[in-house]
Amino acid sequence: MIKGLFETHLFVENLENSITFYKNILGLKQCYFEVERQTAFFWIGKPKEAMLGLWEKPKAEIDKRHFAFRCDKDFILNKSVDFLKKHNLNPYNFLNDGTERPMVFAWVPAIAIYFNDPDGHYLEFISILDGNGRPELGIISYEEWIKSETKI
């Protein structure tokens, strides 16, 4: 029945700033804009594959949301932190080790790095890793994940 997630929507305080962020920084293709409702839509990946909708609302009506962009493992592992810093975005993880490096959610397994959009929504770059999930490992570094895979 359900085959995937097609769209998600966010409320944003300044639609123009958010369009600039999602279009010019994250590289999403804008596919629709409506002045009357103050909304913009973007394709995520190939056109008509997945969509993000942005709706301008007063700050008091904006709850922080989270969603993840599927990316290539190489990008996350080797380029994501530099990409985010280049655009004055602060990458973060849940490793509690004082670093900004990507982390592995071992239960999936997936490698990921977090950052925030201009309204403080929690965004994530994520890539599913080969292998079986290992929930007992929790959230670990990629190096720890590789070591755990060689012990199996």
Q: What is the pLDDT of residues 36-80, one digit of tens each?
A: 999 999 999 999 999 999 999 999 999 999 999 999 999 999 999
Task: Tell me which residue of 49, 47, 30, 48 sits closest to 39, measured CA to CA.
Answer: 30
pLDDT surpassing 80 at residue 151: no
**48 and 3 within one domain:** yes
Total domains in the fold of the chain: 2
5: CATH? 3.10.180.10
- Give Cα 100 to chain centroid, integer Å: 15
Percent helix / strand / coil, the chain, rounded to 5: 25, 30, 40
Q: Give residue 93's domain range.
A: 64-152
Which of 63, 92, 107 is the endpoint of a domain? Answer: 63
**87 and 35 within one domain:** no
* Contact residues for 26 (Cβ-Cβ < 8 A; gap 6+): 69
The pTM of the full predicted model, rounded to 2 decimals, is: 0.93
* Average pLDDT over all residues of the chain: 95
**52 and 23 within one domain:** yes
* Token pair 């720890």: residue: 144
